[in-house]
Amino acid sequence: MYKKVFEICLKHEYFTGDVCAGVQLNVCASTLTLMRRRGLIFREAEVNKWCFVADCVGGEVDELSDIFTLEMRATDPAFISYTDWEGYNPAKTYLLELPYDSHNIDIVAEMNKNQIKRVGAVICLINVRLSKRMFELAREGREMTQTLVFHNPIKYWEYLFVPRSKTGDKKIKVEETKGLVNFEMVTQMHLDIFDSLVYRAISTTLIPLKECYDYQISLKEVVREEPLMVRTLIRDLPLPRMGQIMSGNNNVIQQISYF
């Protein structure tokens, strides 16, 4: 009777629902012969979940010597940019040993402990040791699951607003409609690249990078203080995205808008 013996679930805080859509797991070519000899199948069970399937009645493994190696490859070239991975080295392939005693694992923290010379496009090699206990649990319908979690970076959001014409100083402010993000008071600064003064606004707190946001940010001008009169210059500002503009500060992602 074939059943799931060991399941690997990948999660990423960047994606909606924590589904990790940026990487793929495959069996290493050197492991295929051992897999066939042990009667094992490795397959994707559903989005972001992969599992070892085995004959739980007649199948067995050698707990001491059997190592089943998986390759993790990025399917999205931007994967590293929205992953919190301090010290990531593209010249290295990382190593991971499974299973762990804990159910949920900070995968980057564990991968950073072991590195080898880069193996092609492989981000990480995962060595899996299956046990007789896993087979026993599978027969009871309680396969072991290991959840590997990628975290998303947190960054300040910075807007640079470039006037299309020189019409004098304006008192402007940046607002998020529902108050989910707050920005400091807008200041002016000179940027040589634009050869003019630009307006700068930066978020008051660090913001987790996400695939999608429920934010609507607008640029407004205070036309008059007493009585207060405000007009909207840009109703729906584009949101800053990692990798689009290099700000020079690793803790800041930037968006440039003209008004």
> CB of 51 within 8 A of CB of 112?
no
pLDDT of residue 223: 85
> pLDDT tens string for the chain (259 positions)?
788 999 999 999 999 989 998 899 999 998 999 999 998 999 998 888 999 998 877 777 888 899 999 999 999 999 999 999 999 999 999 999 999 888 889 999 999 999 999 988 899 999 999 998 888 888 888 889 999 999 999 999 999 998 887 767 788 999 999 999 999 999 988 777 777 788 999 999 999 999 999 999 999 988 888 888 889 999 999 999 876 665 667 889 999 998 8
Q: Where are the alpha helices (DSSP H) in 16-131?
A: 32-38, 107-111
Name which of 25, 6, 119, 127 is nearest 66 in CA terms.
127
> What is the value of pTM for the model shown?
0.86
pLDDT of residue 34: 93
**Distance of alpha carbon 107 from alpha carbon 95, whole angstroms:** 10
**Distance of alpha carbon 185 from alpha carbon 228, whole angstroms:** 17
**Tokens standing for 89?**
């080295």
Element (H, E) at 135: helix 132-139
pLDDT of residue 184: 93
